[in-house]
Structure 1
């Protein structure tokens, strides 16, 4: 039993709704791929830069990834089977300067529906000032709190909003 047959699709063009995502992912691979494949900390930077952060293309189209979708993109760039280990591996919404610079040179810029605060500081992934980060979030948890919670999640510990252990 078939619901549709070939004739139902004859002459129907693609909506190309995924086109901006294909272009963005190709740009990530081309501009950031080598560095992300060579260093897992750079993969964490990439996850942070695309998880719940919108990016606008040179022609004005926007792409945005959920936390899980960002894992899949990181795995694709790193040429790995699964990227789930990158889930909440850093603070979402933090765009490392090296990523922002590479993508801006390619014509992509970060956007968000909320007003954003931009700050630069030392990168937690590398610890040096040459790869400072820019924050594109507002009213999120502190880096210290988020890092502790991320470590707790990786260890299988569930914590509440105030940092208390639930189980």
Structure 2
């Protein structure tokens, strides 16, 4: 049980690392091939991506170092393992550096609610990552977080 929890915790760490540094292959590999990532704001879905191709598009459009310096940080992690499935909840904050790197600020905060599954290769991956953005700004520090188009 503790080994599973530790493996899942490492999955969460690799998630932030992959977005912060533009590691697109790593990001896509953190999800099941039919996995999904969705962000909710103000009680409605703001953006959502399902499947490896859409998740790659999401990762490709996400800001990253060295152009935009930020860190995805999580805390208050709860992991409940039930066989080859686990439910995970955690708080998050995205810390961003100003474009001139002279100051930092919280870009966004909220909660992750995840369903992760153990694959045939014994690796844990996201089946579903639901992001609940709990601040409702349309602009984050004067810039958009994602530059990818969202199909209407």
TM (norm. structure 2) is 0.29
The structure in which a higher percent of residues are strand is: 2
Q: Which fold has the larger relative contact order, with Cα–Cα distance below 8 Å and residues 6 or more apart in sequence?
A: 2
Larger Rg: 1
